[in-house]
Structure 1
Amino acid sequence: MSSRAVMTVIGKDRIGIVAEVATMLAEHKVSIVNISQQLMDDYFTMIILLNAELCTLPRMQFCEFLSVEGEKRGLHIRVQDEELFNAMHRI
């Protein structure tokens, strides 16, 4: 995994989402560089800029881990390399 990535999290709002996601990241030595969160009616949305330089898993395994663990928690979690994310959102 490249050192920086953008992670999006979407799910029904409930207590503890930020803590759960932060714990999953910390378990794999991925740090949060910046975080933005917002409520849209009953839905929680979050965008996190990650530093994955010390990540304990290869990129595909880490993304699969987050997807599976997110699904268990009723969350849709997606991770993209920062460069790819920026290229996709350029006008």
Structure 2
Amino acid sequence: MKKIVVTVIGADRVGIVAGVAAALAKENINILDISQTILGDIFDMVLICDMEKAKGSLKEVQDELGALGKELGVDVRAQLADIFYAMHRI
């Protein structure tokens, strides 16, 4: 399994979850786990996804999600889960 972590943060608005989920589905990326929180007006979401059968490369997915984030007015980033976990180890 090729796991990625997708993070989304920005001002809360309608359509963020739907937009990100649709973009991942379009790339044939399966959402394994999802957590989202709204703190005041700030939206925060973390998704663990499997991109083993993804149509595009990680770079292509990162570019697509980044562009989507600009459309939605939020920051959307994707990285390999192994790198994410290594960066956030204490």
Give the structure-2-normalised TM-score: 0.94
Q: CA RMSD in A?
A: 1.1
TM-superposed CA distance for 1:45, in Å, is: 0.3
The SS at the match of 1:90 is coil
Structure 1 partner of 2:76: 77
| One-letter amino acid of the counterpart of residue 15, structure 1 | V
Q: Which residue of 1 aligns with 2:40?
A: 41
Give the ranges of 4+ consecutive aligned residues of structure 1 lying more than 3 Å apart after TM superposition.
none
Q: CA deviation at 1:55?
A: 0.8
Structure-2 separation of matches of 1:5 and 1:83? 8
Q: Does 1:16 align with 2:22?
A: no
What is the match of residue 31 of structure 1?
Answer: 30
> What secondary structure sits across from 1:15 in the alignment?
coil
Q: Which amino acid aligns with 2:77?
A: R
Residues 61-85 of structure 1, C-alpha deviations (whole Å, 9 max, x = no match)? 1101110121111110011111011
Q: CA deviation digits over 1:25-84, x for unaligned, max 9?
A: 000000100000001110100000010011111111110111012111111001111101
SS of the aligned residue for 1:18 comes to helix
Letter in 2 for 1:4: K
Residues of 2 paired with 1:75 and 1:53: CA distance?
26
In the alignment, is residue 88 of structure 1 matched against residue 84 of structure 2? no
Q: Distance in 1 between matches of 2:6 and 2:41?
A: 20
Q: What SS does the corresponding residue of 1:38 show, helix, strand or coil?
A: strand
